[in-house]
Chain A
Amino acid sequence: MDIITCNKVVKKFNDFTALDNISLAIPKGAIYGLLGPNGAGKTTLIRIMNQITMPDSGEVLFNGTPIKQSDIAYIGYLPEERGLYKKMKVGDQALYLARLKGLSSYDATRELKKWFIKFGIQAWWNKKVEELSKGMAQKVQFITTVLHKPSLLILDEPFSGFDPVNVQLVRNEILEMRDSGTSIILSTHNMESVEELCDHIALINKAKLVITGGLEEIRRNHGKNEVEVVYRASEPYQFERTGMTSVVVDSVNKQGYRAVLEIEKDSCSSKVLKELVSNIDIISYRELIPRMNDIFINLVS
């Protein structure tokens, strides 16, 4: 079952088409990467899912039924351009945002206290937002996004502005929430975190959906069926003898060589390794799966 289904969503701003017939399904309990270059239409799509803007045509289903205003209570949205009221106290502000999402004052306070302790920021409760650094404000924003335990979490560049320690903290929270069943849409330009976190991705370019599917599947599909072997030998091994094609062969140092081999499509590693083990002294072996970064650049340009 999918948490969000977009059916032929179209959005135009006067002459400019922001979204052109976008259809995609976002599965439950997984992290879904929404990728695309700047200005591709990601933010517009996210705003449509949040009902901030309405599509010109097409429909958005939430849990299988057309999305309605009351569904926003089940969605948590961390926009890319985010901020807080500068003059308001951190605690008051978090409470306000939580109550706008429909939490009672009592529940919101209780949950907030928990999160503030978890993030080690209890001391900020009575500080004004303008006294916080950017990273500190980001922490508060993250908390206010997840506080009402949304079943769908939409995060637009959630790691920007955080130091590595806090990136780790937020990353772990995201994974924990996924494991407890929250569906997450992650929009980011950081391809490393896409590889690390996402189960599925969709790539949008110039208002059109370019590709969508499981991350591993897409990476494999874009690979050239190559493996990299590093081995000990006094001279390069002639791989052609075993019926394999070597693309690159170069020396690592005096004792070792590195070779990139083309293998048959869908052949499993154990079969290839069996072949190699009997002939050479292997130091390392890995499948060459293309990086998301390369796939992204390849598909967009």
Chain B
Amino acid sequence: MKNSKIFLIISREFLVRVKKKSFIIMTLLTPLLFAALMVLPTLIMTLSSGDSGQKILVVDRSQICAPFFNDTEELEFTFDSNADVESLKKNFPEDLYALVELSEPDSALNLSVSAISIKQLNIGSKRQIERAVQNAVEKTKLERYDIENLDNIIKDIRTDITVKTFTISDKGDEKVAMVEVNMGISYIASFMIYMFIFMFGSMVMRGVIEEKTTRIVEVIVSSVKPFELMLGKILGVGSVALLQFFIWIVLTVGITAGVQAVIGVDKITGNQEMTEMVSSQAGGEVAETMVAVQSNDNFMGELMSALSDVPVTSIVISFILYFILGYLLYAAMFAAVGSAVDNEADTQQLIFPVTLPLILGLFIMIHTFQYPDSALSFWGSIIPFTSPMVMMARVPFGVPLWELALSLGLLVVTFFFMTYLSAKIYRVGILMYGKKATFKDLFKWLRH
């Protein structure tokens, strides 16, 4: 009977939210948005690769640079070292995209380059011009040293080193490991835990405030214990979270796979601009590593091999465990805060002690995904309030089982303890109206 009441509450909390239009829209749109962020840059690149055949007139007074300007799909270079720049400026030819003027170099081969155009020169063209002049000047400078067989020497000097990383298991088996892959997974998993706890924790809090402001709460606690109401709400919202998470994963995987099948794998993975764009959202550190990875010729092959060696099962299991436990821990505290206020605007002060450890966890995580075995990372992943984020950042790099067990065990114990405290505050708070509660009041309520 008691259990069926909790079940009733859970199912109401669940259904009310799942039936909402905003939930359906959010659930369907978010993966589309994710997929769009991954695919769109590629699509834009393939669909409109800029205007082709734009003419650039190079007025090369240095006499050394011309051979280094190579035509591309976009740009077409013409050369005229005697053109009258001043008159061209006054009467700029319509079919000309830009006019590049190179000054005569001084003895140290310093020269100035200016590009004149009606429309602002785009970044690609600017870089291409810079690269051409740079190559030309460097080459000329080298030649001045008058070294024999220079071309061969340069070819001989050019080296490309990548460290191949392996991890060794107890049995001595070697495994290909790519630290960049681990870092990416670590960052994403950890950030998702943070986002989910915050999002669904606030949802619990808003639910509690709603019950208070509509004054239905007294009717309900005359039928069920306040604790049952709180627990039912937390579990109901938690089920919403799990459902949404599940749909997101299925949709994201589905959409990405679908689009990959249409456009082709190499275009998606081999595109530098796209990588830069995606990773700029994930933070600078990742961007650098991803770009570094990009230049590797065997990138795809090694990525696949590294991905296949990522401990997927342990990541998924710990993600689910840390998400559920972290959510439960924080949701109870969010519920307590919600019970102490009459409207959402009043939560600002009281919510601080709840969000502080959450944000702290996020900060530690940013350190952890680069230094997973530092002391800060270790303690952050053991202490319950930050452990969901920080441990999630460590798991992809491999964590000893005892640390995982200790961290999870502490999290469970803390969850029970905080839920017990929260329930005490909640029980008194939901029936208090009018006076704005302070921390002092909350401590009093704990002793009731």
Which residues of A line the B interface, CB within 8 A? 13-14, 47, 50, 52-53, 69-70, 72, 75, 77-79, 81-88, 96-97, 99-102, 141, 144
| Contact in complex: A85, B214 (CB < 8 Å) | yes
In contact, A79 and B214 (Cβ under 8 angstroms) = no
Q: Tell me the smallest distance from the CB of B224 to a CB of chain A, in Å.
A: 6
Return the 6 tightest CB-CB contacts between A and B, nearest first.
Answer: A83-B215, A83-B214, A100-B223, A77-B222, A79-B218, A81-B215
Cβ-defined partner of A100 (8 Å) among B8, B210, B211: B8
A53 to B428, CA, bound (A): 9
Smallest distance from the beta carbon of B172 to chain A beta carbons, Å? 61
Digit string of B379-390 for contact with A (CB within 8 Å is 1, else 0)?
000000000000
- Give min CB distance, B22 to chain A, whole Å: 11
Tell yes or no: B433 within 8 A of A by CB.
yes
Please tell me if the beta carbons of A84 and B220 are within 8 angstroms of each other in the complex.
no
23 contacts between A and B (CB under 8 A): A13-B448, A14-B444, A52-B222, A77-B218, A79-B215, A79-B222, A82-B216, A83-B214, A83-B216, A85-B16, A85-B211, A85-B216, A86-B210, A86-B214, A88-B16, A97-B219, A97-B223, A99-B8, A100-B9, A101-B223, A102-B1, A141-B219, A144-B219
B225 within 8 A of A: yes
Interface string of B1-30 (1 = CB under 8 A from A): 100010011001000100000000000000
Q: Is the CB of A79 within 8 A of B223?
A: no
Cα A99 to Cα B221 with chains together (Å): 13
Q: Could you say which residues of chain A place their CB within 8 Å of the CB of B199?
A: none
Q: Are A84 and B8 in contact (CB under 8 A)?
A: no
In contact, B12 and A96 (Cβ under 8 angstroms) = yes
Q: Which residue of B lies closest to A49 (CB)?
A: B222
Contact among A75, A84, A144 with B214 in the assembled complex (CB-CB below 8 Å) = A84
Inter-chain CA distance A162–B82, complex, in Å, is: 97
Of A50, A70, A85, A97, the contact of B210 (CB 8 Å cutoff): A85
Instruction: Pick the residue among B211, B216, B221, B433 that contacts A52 (CB under 8 A).
Output: B221
Instruction: Say which residue of B1, B5, B210, B218 sits within 8 Å of A82 (CB atoms).
Output: B218
CA distance A13 to B428 in the complex (A): 11
A94 to chain B minimum Cβ distance, whole angstroms, is 11
**Are A82 and B222 closer than 8 Å at their CB atoms?**
no
Chain B residues touching A, range: 20 to 34
Q: Is B431 part of the binding interface, using a Cβ–Cβ cutoff of 8 Å? A: yes
The 8 Å CB contact of B8, one of A50, A53, A87, A96, is A96
B8 & A81 in contact (Cβ 8 Å cutoff) = no
B170-228 contacts to A (CB < 8 Å): 210-211, 213-216, 218-226
- Chain A residues lying within 8 Å of B225, measured Cβ to Cβ, are 69
Quick one: which of B1, B221, B222, B433 contacts A81, CB cutoff 8 A? B433
* A79 touching B219 in the complex, CB below 8 Å, given contacts A52-B431, A99-B8: yes
Q: A85-B16, A96-B8 are in contact. List 13 more A-B contacts (CB 8 A).
A: A47-B431, A50-B222, A52-B222, A72-B222, A75-B222, A77-B222, A79-B219, A81-B218, A82-B215, A82-B218, A86-B210, A97-B219, A101-B223
A85 to B13, CA, bound (A): 11
* CB closest residue in chain B, given A100: B223
Q: In the complex, are the beta carbons of A77 and B219 less than 8 A apart?
A: yes
- CA distance in complex: A14, B444 (Å): 8
Known A-B contacts A87-B16, A100-B224, A101-B223; the reply to A52 vs B8 at CB < 8 A is no
Q: What is the minimal beta-carbon distance from B286 to any residue of chain A, in angstroms? A: 41
Bound CA–CA A118/B133 (angstroms): 91
Within 8 A of A (CB), among B206-260: 210-211, 213-216, 218-226
What CA separation (Å) do A79 and B215 show in the bound complex?
A: 9
The residue in chain B whose Cβ has the minimal distance to the Cβ of A50 is B222
A10 to chain B, nearest CB (A): 14
**Residue of B211, B216, B224, B448 with most chain A CB atoms under a 10 A cut-off:** B216
Interface centre among A72, A84, A96, A100 (most CB of B within 10 A): A100
Residues of A within 8 A of B210 (CB): 85-86
Residues of B within 8 A of A78 (CB): 219
Distance in angstroms between the alpha carbons of A84 and B219 in the assembled complex: 9
Complex: chain A residue closest to B224, CB-CB: A100
CA distance A299 to B431 in the complex (A): 29
Chain A residues within an 8 Å CB radius of B216: 82-85
Nearest CB on B from A178, distance (A): 21
- Of all chain A residues, the one with the shortest Cβ separation from B430 is A52
- CB neighbours (8 Å) of A14 from chain B are 444
Assembly CA distance A72 to B214 (angstroms): 22
Minimum CB distance partner of A13 in chain B: B448
Given the complex of chains A and B, what is the CA–CA distance between A190 and B8 in angstroms?
37
**For residue A69, which residues in chain B have a CB less than 8 angstroms away from its CB?**
225
| List of A residues within 8 angstroms of B12 by Cβ | 96
Q: Which of A52, A70, A100 is B218 in contact with, Cβ under 8 Å?
A: A52
A-chain residues with CB within 8 Å of residue B5 when the two chains form the complex: 100
CB distance from B206 to the nearest CB of A (A): 12
In the complex, what residues of B have CB within 8 A of residue A101's CB? 223
Residues of B within 8 A of A88 (CB): 16
Q: What B residues does A84 contact at CB under 8 A?
A: 214, 216
Q: Which residue of A lies closest to B218 (CB)?
A: A79
Identity of the chain B residue whose Cβ is nearest the Cβ of A14 in the assembled complex? B444
Interface residues of B in 88-130 (CB under 8 A from A): none
CA distance A278 to B221 in the complex (A): 65
With a cutoff of 8 Å between Cβ atoms, the chain B residues found around residue A85 in the complex are 16, 210-211, 214, 216
